[in-house]
Amino acid sequence: MAKLTILPANVSAEVPDGENLIEAGETAGVEMEAGCFNCSCGTCVAEVVSGMENLSDPTDEELDVLDQWNKDPEKFRLTCCNRILKGEVVLRAGH
Ligand code: FES
């Protein structure tokens, strides 16, 4: 199992390894902001406070959207197109 914590609400959920971040966030009880669910609009961007190494690697598509939003991919990810592979990840929701 993996663990996702979402700030500033500071709520956590244990989820199966490989769970999509939006679904994991909803398991934690947070309504995750999202639009396209398809890695193209950028609405779902969130700051990764810790555990970046436990997320799936970004696709070129995700990197392009983060660039459009002027978000550093070493600190921000799109939650709709990312999975928590293992371990613990802490996100700060909102822009
Ligand atoms: S919801 Fe559109 S990029 Fe994630």
Domain boundaries, the chain: 2-92
Cβ 37 under 6 angstroms from ligand 1: yes
pLDDT tens, position by position, 39-82: 999 999 999 999 999 999 999 999 999 999 999 999 999 999 99
Cβ 36 under 6 angstroms from ligand 1: yes
Q: Which atom of ligand 1 is nearest to the CA of 62?
A: 3
Supply the CATH classification number for the domain 2-92: 3.10.20.30
Q: pTM of the full predicted structure? A: 0.94
32-37: average pLDDT: 95
CA distance 80 to 34: 7
Percentage with pLDDT > 70 across the chain = 99
CA 91 / ligand 1 centre spacing (Å): 16
CA distance 84 to 67: 22
